[in-house]
Each structure stands twice: as structure tokens, then as C-alpha cells.
């Protein structure tokens, strides 16, 4: 894991988004640091990606940005102008405070066993359903509501 490199050269990114565009695939941009978010600017300016973009800010991966509320807010501030959907993916037990941060800042959230095995109280989740139910509860406690399938598809442009 110490040899992992986030391959994010413009050459590679442009090849991916061009191919995805030809196939009618809307990319999800997983950003492991604030500079990754800034790389969207020239892609938008060149017309290689169009609104709405789905930007997932991934915090807590070794070699990426540290999983703090300040870093999540900083990354959110780096979003390019326009209509974009952004959310936070937080790895490990720090997921729950960062879900709260994303909700407070107007972003989307993601929870699941791919990122974290534990509920906020430290109990191990039995399934993705446990984690999703808790994320939904946090969403509602923050005065927001989960999108319907139709709303989610419209927001994502699919």
C-alpha cells in the first residue's frame, strides 16, 4: 500500500473522459486531495465534461487528504462554478463526523461496507443496510431528506 500512486495526469484523465463520453458514460470524479478537484476546471473549459458533474471527495485514504471537517470544507470550496453534485466518501471510523460535515455544507453522503464497517457507536454493522439506515437518519436529523430514485437520476443527469 505504500507504493500506491494516484494516477491523475491530464493525459490519463482526458483519455478516460473522452472514452467515457463516446460511450455515453457520465464519470464520477473521485478526488483524493483538493488539487484533484481543481483539475476539473480545464476539463470543463475544454468541453470534455459537462454539467452536472458528480464529484466525490474521498478523505482518509493513505496518501490522500486527511479525514477532517476542515479538509472536507476546503475541498467543497474548491468546486468549480456551475451545477455540480458533490459528496464526501470518508474511509474508516471517521466516516460519521464527515457525513455530518457534508450534510451541513450541502453535499451528498455515502455509506457502506466498502468504506467502513462500524456504526457511530462502534458496533460492527451487519450489512450495508445498517450503515445506509444510519446515514439516512443523520440526513433527516440534519433537516434534509434522501432523494427519490427519480430525483437522484435527474440530479446526476442519467
Domain boundaries, the chain: 26-156
Q: How confident is the model at residue 153 (pLDDT cuts 50, 70, 90)?
A: confident
Indicate the average pLDDT of the chain.
92
pTM of the model: 0.88
pLDDT of 83 reads 76
Q: 10 CB contacts (<8 Å, ≥6 apart)?
A: 39, 42
pLDDT, one tens digit per residue, over 81-95 is: 887 889 999 999 889
pLDDT, one tens digit per residue, over 123-142 is: 999 999 999 999 999 999 99
Helices in the chain by DSSP H: which ranges? 10-22, 34-38, 40-45, 69-77, 95-105, 128-141, 149-156
pLDDT, one tens digit per residue, over 20-60 is: 999 999 899 999 999 999 999 999 999 999 888 899 999 99
**Homologous superfamily of the 26-156 domain (CATH):** Aldolase class I (3.20.20.70)
Coil, strand or helix at 90: strand
Amino acid at each position: 500500500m505504500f507504493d500506491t500512486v494516484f494516477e491523475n495526469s491530464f493525459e490519463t484523465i482526458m483519455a478516460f473522459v473522452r472514452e467515457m463520453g463516446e460511450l455515453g458514460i457520465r464519470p464520477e470524479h473521485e478526488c483524493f486531495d483538493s488539487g484533484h478537484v481543481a483539475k476539473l476546471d480545464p476539463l470543463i473549459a475544454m468541453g470534455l465534461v459537462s454539467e452536472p458533474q458528480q464529484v466525490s471527495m474521498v478523505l482518509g485514504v493513505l496518501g490522500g487528504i486527511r479525514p477532517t471537517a476542515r479538509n472536507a470544507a476546503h475541498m467543497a470550496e474548491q468546486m468549480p462554478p456551475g451545477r455540480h453534485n458533490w459528496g464526501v466518501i470518508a474511509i474508516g471510523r471517521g466516516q460519521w463526523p464527515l457525513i455530518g460535515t457534508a450534510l451541513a455544507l450541502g453535499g451528498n453522503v455515502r455509506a457502506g461496507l466498502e468504506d467502513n464497517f462500524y456504526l457511530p457507536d462502534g458496533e460492527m454493522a451487519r450489512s450495508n443496510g445498517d450503515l445506509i439506515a444510519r446515514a439516512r437518519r443523520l440526513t433527516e436529523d440534519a433537516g434534509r431528506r434522501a432523494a427519490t430514485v427519480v430525483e437522484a437520476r435527474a440530479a446526476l443527469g442519467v
